[in-house]
Structure 1
Amino acid sequence: MARPPRWQSTLDASAEEACLAVRLYNDSAESRSFEGFVIHMHLAWLYLLHAEFLRDGVDYRYWDLQRKNRLLKIDGEAKRWELEVASNSVVYGSGGHVAVNVATVTV
């Protein structure tokens, strides 16, 4: 059996976050369901965009401008684009449908 693509796990995590967001939103007994919805949809969009960047070979990491060939790191992990930067990237454009959809979730 073929090995799944590198981006598949990130895409699966995105779908899981979106399902959790909808489940929280629809559960009226859950306290703070709207806040949970916004947080998990934020993560779902972020994971989805990162999966697309991985699939398309787009480098979505921050590079250190002071020292060449060095990544900016946070707690030992490479710093990656935030949701706003990813949705407004050159790939999608700031007025594209992705940026508009993300803006409605992260108001």
Structure 2
Amino acid sequence: MVSGTTERPRLSVFRSNKHLYAQVIDDTKSCTLASASTMHKALSKELEYSAGPTTEVAQKIGEVIAKSCLEKGITKVVFDRGGFLYHGRIKALADAARENGLEF
């Protein structure tokens, strides 16, 4: 199991049929430091999709979570793909987070 620390929190990704969620979690304190998902009102208005999240939507979630982390001083994370294959939407989110400044 992947575990996050205060110095290097865990970037956890979950995808359902309709939504995509990303959280940065400090497992030692059991608290969420940052989050982004297709459920957030600001993002859901910006993202137009009807058949569930696409790789483009996943890229946007990756950008948002990376920017949120950098604002809070988090630059290094441990990536937790949550048992999903590192392919498609999961890979798109991870690549976008890396391109926007997160290291993992």
- State whether TM-score is above 0.5: no
Q: Higher strand share goes to which structure?
A: 2
> Over alpha carbons, which structure has the higher Rg?
1
TM-score (norm 1): 0.28
Q: Higher helix share goes to which structure?
A: 1
